[in-house]
Structure 1
Amino acid sequence: MPDFPLATALAVGTVVLDGGLATQLEAQGHDLSSALWSARLLHDDPEAVVAAHAAFAASGAQVATTASYQVSVEGLAAAGLDATEARRLVVRSVHLAEQGAPEAWIAGSVGPYGAALADGSEYTGAYADEIGVDRLRRWHRPRMEWLAEAGADVLACETVPAAAEAEALLEEADMLGMPVWLSLTTVVDGDGIVRTRRGEPAGEVFAMARELDAVVAVGVNCTDPAAVGPSLAAAASSGKPLVAYPNSGEGWDAGTRRWTGTPGVDAAQVSAWLGAGARLVGGCCRVGPADTARIAAMIR
């Protein structure tokens, strides 16, 4: 781990994020088709997770994002594991990232409620209004606390599809006093307005972070590369450094649990993202170490 905070680095330059951890694990030959996705390997094959982190570190990534995106007490209970085991696996995710990328900042992945449902609802946010902010806070709290206690440098509250969930995560982060970044998954509508997957104006959601000292960056992930530029413009309303780590441009089919379309993250787009204020730059789903190396080369 660097001997200074991530926020300090962002104040003076750009930091390279890693890519899709599940993508790399699949490239290593692992089947991630279960409801637990890459979280299954925290239990079954931790060395595979270390190897995936190491692959991204070798490609130039300066941040290692933990394999805790899919972990929840409820999801693990459905797989026959209790809350004690859930905590152990979350803590293990931090230690495995440290082993694989000892020179990197460790970002504890805090995926949305929908990710634990494994039904694609993190790309709709359909659950957010019904569940509400208070319940979402209670649901996210244990994992955020465990990641902080395990020694993560920052929490990556990522692929957030709805305003209510963003509010819940920001309130929890503020209470915890832990550095976090908030990353929405967004779309651009026919009028050119950037919206959450739930349909709210994204600029209003990003603005929630303006007065919170714990928030080191806001931006987008698991978003089509073409939507990154407009999304960063909307995120500028927060006054925070910006984060951008889109997916490959493919789409996720929740029914068949497969990616469809043609991959296409073009590292040449990175300069435009930097010009828009991005200071944390990398990739998400279907973005592997080779893509990270190209992004790092563009930045450096």
Structure 2
Amino acid sequence: MTLEQSSFGILDGGMGRLLERLGAPFKLPEWSALSLIEAPDYVTQAHQAYVDSGADIITTNSYGLVPHMLGEERFASDGLTLADRAGRLAREVADRATRLVLVAGSLPPPFESYRPDLFEIGAAPPIIENLVAGLRPHVDLWLIETQSSTVEALTSLAAVIGDGKPIYVSYTLKDEDGRTGPAELRSGEPVGEAVRKTLGAGAEGIFFNCSQPEVMGEAIRAARRVANEMGSSFSIGVYANAFAPEPPSDAPYAGISDIRADLDPQNYLKWIERWLADGATIVGGCCGIGPEHIDAIRSLRQNREAARRHN
């Protein structure tokens, strides 16, 4: 089965806020990694909630398994074990499902999210390789997510390019209030250029995540223009967050962001429909988007498929 055997594929939603809602241990700087360390049953509950809501793909809870969130000492001593645990928990839930559910191995920015200026190309590979080693036995595909620049993304891609699993790279976009014009990565690179570089390096699809819904459409259209120019097809995925725009900061983990009131499931579904019309083939949610949103997306797909069969 490919990710797009149905009319469109459904990715899961955000992990951290769902863990918080479930009552799991949750604080900064560990974020979602704290539950993995102290109460992994909550991680299983979160994965199960997304499978029950209709997700075709669940993402390993490995986003926080990096030194600046775990701490250098804990990463060195426990990082590999925690990555293995994150992969195993997702695999167990996927394997219990009564339908095919794929596990995506999350490879996050090895340094700060949204901060391409802090990326250290020489220091990144050992961090990434530790995550890959723990996750590899359990995952069906790689999701290199919330990447702010192509050099950040391609460094992670190089760590997994030869293992035979599909690789999807997901970029986060500039999303200031009222932003207009061409879509750009947080590094300032145009999306079209990033798509060409990333596909050329071996990715099988391009996603956009952890940005405001308002900026996703232009990014999808830019990716689709590249597909048309290349005469090829590739997966285009979108999973927006529900945060207010957050400019770069010297203290990105100073507090937990507020959730927008206007991105309830039905309002988020309106964005999903626009993204599908623009050319997205896989949709889901990032921070603040939960199982109720994924359930609404499943209903949309069921209704579309029922209408197609009827016609």
Deviation of the 1:180 alpha carbon? 1.5
- Alignment partner of 2:281: what SS? strand
Which of 105, 109, 116 aligns to 1:108? It is 105
Tell me the TM-score normalized by structure 2: 0.82
Deviation of the 1:188 alpha carbon? 5.7
Answering whether residue 110 of structure 2 is matched by residue 122 of structure 1, we say no
Q: Structure 2: which amino acid aligns with 1:141? A: E
Encode CA deviations 1:196-225: one digit per residue, 9 max, x unaligned.
112111221111122355x23212011111
Distance across 2 between alignment mates of 1:278 and 1:205: 17
Q: Structure 2: which amino acid aligns with 1:100? A: V
The residue that corresponds to 1:58 in the other structure is 52
Matches within 5 A, 1:204-283: 204-213=193-202, 215-236=203-224, 237=226, 239-251=233-245, 254-259=253-258, 261-264=260-263, 266-283=268-285
Answering whether residue 32 of structure 2 is matched by residue 44 of structure 1, we say no
5+ unaligned residues in a row in structure 1: which ranges? 115-120
Distance 1:55 1:153, change over 3 A: same
Answering whether residue 88 of structure 2 is matched by residue 95 of structure 1, we say yes
Distance across 2 between alignment mates of 1:195 and 1:31: 35
The residue that corresponds to 1:293 in the other structure is 295
- Alignment partner of 1:275: what SS? helix
Distance 1:153 1:99, change over 3 A: same
Q: Mark the structure with the bigger radius of gyration.
A: 2
Encode CA deviations 1:107-133: one digit per residue, 9 max, x unaligned.
11111123xxxxxx41232213xx23x
Matches within 5 A, 1:140-159: 140-148=128-136, 150-159=137-146
Answering whether residue 79 of structure 2 is matched by residue 86 of structure 1, we say yes
Distance 1:204 1:224, change over 3 A: same
Distance 1:82 1:271, change over 3 A: closer
Distance across 1 between alignment mates of 2:14 and 2:156: 22
Distance across 2 between alignment mates of 1:137 and 1:81: 18
- Alignment partner of 1:266: what SS? helix
Q: Larger % of strand: which?
A: 1
Deviation of the 1:191 alpha carbon? 5.5
5+ unaligned residues in a row in structure 2: which ranges? 228-232, 247-251, 303-311
Encode CA deviations 1:67-88: one digit per residue, 9 max, x unaligned.
101102564354x535352111
Deviation of the 1:15 alpha carbon? 1.2
- Alignment partner of 2:104: what SS? strand
Encode CA deviations 1:6-57: one digit per residue, 9 max, x unaligned.
xx23266421111011111011123422311111111210111001111111
Query: CA contact under 8 A between 1:14 and 1:299: conserved in structure 2?
Result: yes
The residue that corresponds to 1:174 in the other structure is 161
Query: CA contact under 8 A between 1:251 and 1:260: conserved in structure 2?
Result: no
Query: CA contact under 8 A between 1:16 and 1:61: conserved in structure 2?
Result: yes
Distance 1:14 1:42, change over 3 A: same
Worse overlay, 20-29 or 135-144: 135-144
Q: CA RMSD in A?
A: 2.3
Distance 1:85 1:139, change over 3 A: closer
Paired-residue identity, %: 26
Which of 48, 58, 61 aligns to 1:67? It is 61
The residue that corresponds to 1:194 in the other structure is 183
Q: How many residues are matched?
A: 282
Answering whether residue 153 of structure 2 is matched by residue 162 of structure 1, we say no
Deviation of the 1:137 alpha carbon? 3.2
Distance across 1 between alignment mates of 2:219 and 2:91: 31
Tell me the TM-score normalized by structure 1: 0.85
Distance across 2 between alignment mates of 1:209 and 1:89: 28
